[in-house]
Amino acid sequence: MHKLLSFGFWNYVARLILRNRILILVVLGIATIALSTQWKNLRFTHTEANLLPDDHPVNVEYNRFLAQFGEEGNLIILGVENSQLNSFDKFNAWNQLADSIATFPEVDLVLSTANLPELVKSEDGSTFEIQPFVDRRITSNKELDTIKKKLYSELPFYKNLIYSEKDSVIRTAIYLKKEIVNTQARKDFVLDNLQPLIDAQNLDIKVSGMPYIRTLNAKNIVDEIGIFLLAALLITSGIFFFFFRSWRATFISIITVVIGVMWAFGILGLLQYEITVLTALIPPLIIVIGIPNCIFLINKYQQEIKKHGNQAKSLQRVITKIGNATLMTNITTASGFATFIFTESTLLKEFGVVASICIISIFLISLMVIPIIYSYLPLPKERHLEHLRKRWIGAFVDWMENMVRNHRIAIYISSVAVLIASFIGMYQIRISGSLIEDMPKGAQFYKDIKFFEESFDGIMPVEILVDTRSKEGVTKSKNLKKLERLEEHIIETPELSRPLSVVSLVKYSKQAFYGGDPEFYDLPTSNERMFMAPLMQSSGTDIGLMSSYVDSTGQIARVTTFMKDMGTDRMERVEENLIAQVNTIFPAESYDTLITGKALVFQKGTNYLINNLIISLSLAIILIAVFMAFMFRSYKMILVSLIPNLLPLLITAGLMGFIGVPIKPSTILVFSIAFGISVDDTIHFLAKYRQELIANDWKIKKSVYGALRETGVSMFYTSIVLFFGFSTFTISSFGGTVALGALVSATLLFAMLANLLLLPSMLLSFERQFSNKETIKKPAFPIIAKDGDEEE
């Protein structure tokens, strides 16, 4: 390792790059073309993010449910307010829409007022029959009023299934074929067939359901990738040009990061990872992280040109002096992302793998492309070097030095005060396990979700399975009564919607037995069951939906309800209460029960992710601490390097508590990402500080101020680029992406101030402890070269 990172090695690398320019450009071109051929493998996720590992007990239980009853997320709901269907022609149009949708091959079943099955007793009383609720087009408003009155007052079976108990919103339920739910066919059906049909209606139709939500959510992700790339490129290159005032330097940096983006898409395709809400961030992330690499390399090249005007020597020194330091900083950044690999979440693992590979790739591309392009260009003109003498940069450096020299007590007091405030804020952070919180609030499908939640008391499916341990055990009277007790508890729980189970069908059968009188919508008595049994057996009654709520043996019953969108704490309380009630009604010695569903899987996934990312962040801190120890060979330097980088993380956590940003899958990524990036500044500063100590015969103050002046400008440049680069994520319509961008930007800004003010202040205040020859031992490998370290 020492030989690998020695300056003899970097001299060799410099010669290799500059003497084989054509060959390297050809190899880079071939690699870029080869990776671009992998773009054909890019595919966008057709499923929602599963944050749990495949073998997690919650996932195992959920997959057991799916194996028993099939995909639950195959339902699309259309809804329209009753007041809109105020004329028979509009009601006919509503029914015609359902009939049209039913003709598509992707659709398994449509349940609507157009084909609503009505259970009736045959004229001779020997069997139950299913008749259409509406068997023809309606020809008058009077007829429409009669139909609506019958639906709302005489068919309680369809309450909260076809019409809302609260406000009489009328729904159409579209059940897609389960085998297409997680495929491209679902997306094509929703975007190419369903949406145009709905848009053509002269009705304000609300649409929801997991297949629809997932399709439009994925479409938003796809649409935003291009926006992010363009915004990140424009903002970061714009800031780059503002600093350097050189079109040539700006154009070279753009070429470099564009190659990096092409590689990022190629790596995603090569590994055949799906593009998710996380992996979609990687290409713009490469731009944001790649531009600082360009700043360090180009800034050093121009400094060398200004110093001696020799292009060959300047290019060699760029590679030998900056190559090692930039490699170290890119490794620490990649390490922050790589820690996600150690979580058991496939979503995070894929994000960590691709991000860390791409970060090292953009370093290699920058190191080769920038010196090679400059080797073919004439020397920079005097105007291109003007930024090195900018007065405002000098004023900023003077301000930093003045603060460190004369106001260290104020820096410490401010740091402690902010730290105390941060701890107060941290106690106010809430955890969110919401499926929809990060969805675009301005999108119509999000507004439709909230509409259905308000009308039907829930949107996130919760499934309860009851195994009676005996064939046909579900239809036994005692078990039906137990299921009814469970339903009553669910109805009394304000966070849950009216449930659907076999109990509803049995009640409906009794109503039909008594001529459709809604007063008899209840479970039959033992005597009534005896009289109803021949009718049930002869008809084999199933209205096309209830077969999904009892397994083929009649042993396992399924109860489906929907949960309101809420925070994790409240969701856990509802779940605990539901589990307690299920266990009371169905004791474990006689029944096997299971509570699952996408709502609970996502909530458990959020908690799992939080626990794992705490471990991930701890691992990142340990890895980087070991890395610092290896570089500086001093535990005291580990301490002095970690404090300025942990403080910004605590400040950000406190800020989240004060402004109400919850801990959720998107925001807990902030800490590992920001820590991995912010520690780069510490490495640059401490490496330069050690070099200044040796050059200045261990004169501490002179060394601190020298290091501050030397590294302060580059740290300021890169921090500003990173701040505005990550800020581009705030233009997203996804709440999680906005929070991620804003919080990482804020953390990096705090980290810059901590590294430029707190770190040098600590070195000066504790100079005897931190800055002697015993503490600052010779590093395991040199990070920044002295002028004499490379060949002239």
CA–CA dist 664, 625 (Å, integer): 27
Per-residue pLDDT at 332 exceeds 50: yes
pLDDT band at 53 (very low <50, low <70, confident <90, very high): confident
Q: Which residue in the block uniquely carries the two structure tokens 């730290």?
A: 419
Residue 451 counted as domain residue: no
Average pLDDT over residues 67-91: 82
CA–CA dist 271, 267 (Å, integer): 6
pTM of the predicted structure, to 2 decimals: 0.75
In tens, the pLDDT along 743-752 reads 888 888 888 8
pLDDT of residue 792: 37
The Cα-based distances of 179 to 74, 192, 406, 545 in angstroms read 9, 19, 70, 18
Q: In which domain, by residue range, is 554 found?
A: 456-596
In tens, the pLDDT along 205-234 reads 888 887 888 788 777 777 777 787 888 888
Residue 154 counted as domain residue: no
Per-residue pLDDT at 283 exceeds 50: yes
Q: Measuring CA to CA, which residue among 212, 181, 186 is closest to residue 66?
A: 181
Q: Strand 43-44 vs strand 274-275: parallel, antiparallel, or unpaired?
A: parallel
Residue type, 1: M
Residue 6: CA count within 13 A, CB half-sphere: 7
Residue 112 counted as domain residue: no
Let me know whether 582 and 564 are in one domain: yes
Let me know whether 486 and 589 are in one domain: yes
Let me know whether 562 and 608 are in one domain: no
Percentage of the chain lying above the pLDDT 90 cut: 6
Task: Give the other-Cβ count within 10 Å of 728's Cβ.
Answer: 23
pLDDT of residue 88: 87
CB 486 within 8 A of CB 582: yes
* 3-class SS letters over 533-580: HHHHHHHCCCCCCHHHHECCCCCEEEEEEEECCCCHHHHHHHHHHHHH
What does the mean pLDDT of the chain come to?
80
CATH number, domain containing residue 299: 1.20.1640.10
Phi then psi for residue 306, to 5 deg, are -65, -35
pLDDT of residue 155: 86
CB 333 within 8 A of CB 680: yes
Average pLDDT over residues 572-601: 87
- Segment among 275-289, 389-403, 478-492, 518-532 with least mean pLDDT: 389-403
Per-residue pLDDT at 580 exceeds 50: yes
pLDDT band at 28 (very low <50, low <70, confident <90, very high): very high
Q: Measuring CA to CA, which residue among 547, 511, 541, 545 is closest to residue 128?
A: 541
Per-residue pLDDT at 686 exceeds 60: yes
pLDDT of residue 132: 81
Per-residue pLDDT at 63 exceeds 60: yes
Per-residue pLDDT at 781 exceeds 70: no
Residue 439 counted as domain residue: no
Residue 778 counted as domain residue: no
In tens, the pLDDT along 403-440 reads 888 888 998 899 899 999 999 988 888 777 666 777 77
CA–CA dist 477, 490 (Å, integer): 20
Check residue 318 and report its DSSP letter. I
Let me know whether 247 and 379 are in one domain: yes
Q: Which of 596, 626, 658 is at the close of a domain?
A: 596
CB 422 within 8 A of CB 720: no
Let me know whether 635 and 582 are in one domain: no
Check residue 754 and report its DSSP letter. I
pLDDT of residue 790: 41
Residue type, 179: E
Starting at the edge strand that comes first in sequence, how are the strands of the sheet with 206-208 ordered?
Answer: 107-111, 170-176, 75-80, 206-208
pLDDT of residue 386: 62
H/E run at residue 282: helix 282-308
Let me know whether 637 and 512 are in one domain: no
Q: Measuring CA to CA, which residue among 326, 399, 401, 408 is closest to residue 761?
A: 408
Let me know whether 534 and 414 are in one domain: no
88 or 6: whose pLDDT is higher?
88
H/E run at residue 44: strand 43-44
CA–CA dist 24, 29 (Å, integer): 8
CATH number, domain containing residue 475: 3.30.70
pLDDT of residue 789: 44
pLDDT band at 396 (very low <50, low <70, confident <90, very high): confident
Residue 157 counted as domain residue: no
Average pLDDT over residues 433-455: 77
Per-residue pLDDT at 791 exceeds 50: no
287 or 566: whose pLDDT is higher?
287
pLDDT of residue 778: 54
pLDDT of residue 382: 66
Let me know whether 421 and 465 are in one domain: no
pLDDT band at 634 (very low <50, low <70, confident <90, very high): low
pLDDT band at 542 (very low <50, low <70, confident <90, very high): low
Let me know whether 656 and 591 are in one domain: no
pLDDT band at 49 (very low <50, low <70, confident <90, very high): low
pLDDT band at 154 (very low <50, low <70, confident <90, very high): confident
Let me know whether 749 and 655 are in one domain: yes
CA–CA dist 214, 211 (Å, integer): 5
Residue 334 counted as domain residue: yes
- Segment among 188-202, 273-287, 409-423 with least mean pLDDT: 273-287
400 or 786: whose pLDDT is higher?
400
Q: Which of 570, 596, 622 is at the close of a domain?
A: 596
pLDDT of residue 537: 55
Let me know whether 326 and 369 are in one domain: yes
Task: Please give the tally of structural domains in the chain.
Answer: 2
pLDDT band at 47 (very low <50, low <70, confident <90, very high): low
Average pLDDT over residues 140-151: 86
Residue 776 counted as domain residue: no
Per-residue pLDDT at 708 exceeds 80: yes
50 or 493: whose pLDDT is higher?
493
Average pLDDT over residues 703-713: 80
H/E run at residue 274: strand 274-275
Check residue 110 and report its DSSP letter. E
In tens, the pLDDT along 96-107 reads 888 899 888 888
Average pLDDT over residues 601-622: 75
263 or 67: whose pLDDT is higher?
263
Indicate the burial class of 18 (C-beta count within 10 angstroms; 0-12, 13-18, 19 or more): middle
Q: Which of 562, 596, 630 is at the close of a domain?
A: 596
Average pLDDT over residues 379-394: 64
Collapsing DSSP states into helix, strand and coil, what is residue 87? coil
Let me know whether 509 and 567 are in one domain: yes
Partners of 275 in beta bridges: 44
CA–CA dist 311, 520 (Å, integer): 95
